[in-house]
Structure 1
Amino acid sequence: MISVKNVSIQGLPVLEIFPAEQENQALPTVIFYHGWTSQKESAMVNGYELAKNGFRALLPEADLHGERKPSSSATQENMDFWRVVVHNLQEMESMIDYYQQKGLIDEDRIGVAGLSMGGITTCAALTQFPWIKAAAVLMGSPSPVLFSKWLLQSKWAEGMDVPFDQEAFDEMTAPLKKIALNLQPEKIAERPIYFWHGTNDDLVPYKLTADFYEKVKDEPYAKNLQFQTTKGGIHKVPYTVSVEMASFFEKVL
């Protein structure tokens, strides 16, 4: 039997999903991040599959999303995508600390995963936290600067008539280099990482993930990378991929 409960960690809403009979045991744990303009509940199928494989799955609510959504005077359009990603990173360790203090985490078996913005968060986290033992990136991107440039020419920018200014762009994206996995791929550090991306994704480009994988796949530090694709796949994670993701963690954590 799988149990679900709501937890608040210093104001951070988290859905915790776990095998009911092991609620009070130290379990291997995976933090799973949802996507842009979504909410933690949308990732429950992933948490459920992880719990079926013996994990404690933690599904945090990203800032300005779900329960933390802005008041009616604010809109999703004026949200800062990268600020939300960085906020995810800032809150990650407090989640781990909370469960460590309660003795509910196997500290040698901690993973991070996510879809879309959550996958981007996962790639960024790999540059910051060596305690992450394994990761899964579902239709995310390891290349935040290149992704930002792509966004300006994508469907996200439709209706915007703003000329591209390289100098302004470089200044705006300079802080992202610190969390860019493609610029410091050695930080993979032989950790098992599962990438999945549909080839026809028009919201987070498949090509950036594929190019990254091709660049690093033969490096010693990347020997435990996996890259799975779905030909014709769009910006939606199939259920079979959620199952495969959970199976991946069961094998490597």
Structure 2
Amino acid sequence: MISIKSLTIEGMPLLEINPKGKEMALLPTVVFFHGWESNKESCLVNGYELAKKGFRAILPDAYLHGERKEKDLTKEGVEFWNVIASNLTELPLIREYYINKGLSDSKRFGVTGLSMGGFTTCAALTQFPWIKTAVVLMGSPDPVNFTKWLLSSKWTEGMELPVTEEVYTKSLATLLPISLAMHPESIANRYIHFWHGTKDDLVPYQPTFDFYEEVKLQSYGSNLSFSASVGVGHKVPYTKSVEMADFFSAHL
């Protein structure tokens, strides 16, 4: 049995999912970030699986999403990285709130997410050494090369994107500090799992797999793992939500 609580922290609407009867207990905690143009409710199955394993699962609405939606994002591709930047600002605030309340174990704190949430997870690993364990669901560790690919992909159909050389170059430069591909040493031998569908046409499978293949050979990447679903596109199967929760159960 689980319980679901809706609350707002520092202006962030979120869902808190707990094992029933342990709502006020000190628990290992996992934050799950949703994808682009989605919301916290869409990720309930992931929070449910985490709570079943004894975790407190926190599902926030990202900036401009869910209860915080202010405009149609269909033509606002430029906001993608702004939303991720906001996630990175808000993640430590969420952690601090739950630790100060005596609800989260500071030494057992994990992060995960799908699509944009997977990008957020990779970026967070470059910034926050207190993340013990992470799972990346169809996200990318390489925001710079993904952005270059993005400009010629189906993502840009109907979107208004900055295309001048000056704006483009400046935009890429801001991504360098949060690029896990540029700073793979920040993995620091933490337990990190990647999942990707081989037919994903929104976040390409191959670059993420190539990153894994290279980094797993390094001393700081020995605890990386990867699973693929052959023929699956940009959608997380239920079995992979279970796999995500099992990974945290084993390593957090």
TM-score normalised by length of structure 1: 0.95
Change beyond 3 A, Cα 1:179–1:247: same
- Equivalent in the alignment of 1:78: 76
Q: Deviations over 1:63-108 (max 9, x none)?
A: 00010000xxx32122600000000000011101111111001111
**Is 1:102 aligned with 2:70?**
no
Following superposition, the deviation at residue 170 of structure 1 comes to: 2.2
Matched, 1:244 2:224: no
Give 1:225's aligned amino acid. Answer: L
Show structure 1 runs of 4+ deviating over 3 A: 158-168
Alignment partner of 2:29: what SS? strand
What is the DSSP-based 3-state SS (H/G/I as helix, E as strand, rest coil) of the residue aligned with 2:54?
A: coil
Work out the number of aligned pairs and report it.
250
The residue aligned with 1:38 is: 38
Structure 2 residues not aligned, in runs of 5+: none
* Letter of the structure 2 residue corresponding to residue 134 of structure 1: T
CA distance in structure 2 between the partners assigned to 1:137 and 1:245 by the alignment:
9
Change (3 A) 1:168 1:11: closer
Which is worse superposed, 48-57 or 79-88? 79-88
Instruction: Tell me the equivalent position of 2:26.
Output: 26
Q: Which residue of 2 aligns with 1:190?
A: 189
Shift of 1:183: 0.1
Q: Which residue of 1 aligns with 2:50?
A: 50
Kindly report which structure 2 residues correspond to 1:26-175, keeping only aligned pairs within 5 A, or say none: 26-70=26-70, 74-76=71-73, 77-78=75-76, 80-158=79-157, 168-175=167-174
Deviation at 1:169, TM superposition (A): 2.4
Instruction: Write the distance in 1 (CA, Å) between the matches of 2:15 and 2:250.
Output: 24
Q: TM-score, normalised by structure 2?
A: 0.95
CA–CA distance in 2 between the matches of 1:158 and 1:126? Answer: 31
Distance 1:198 1:103 in 2: 38
Of residues 203-212 and 126-135 in structure 1, the stretch that sits farther from structure 2 once superposed is 203-212
> 1:21 Cα deviation (Å)?
1.3
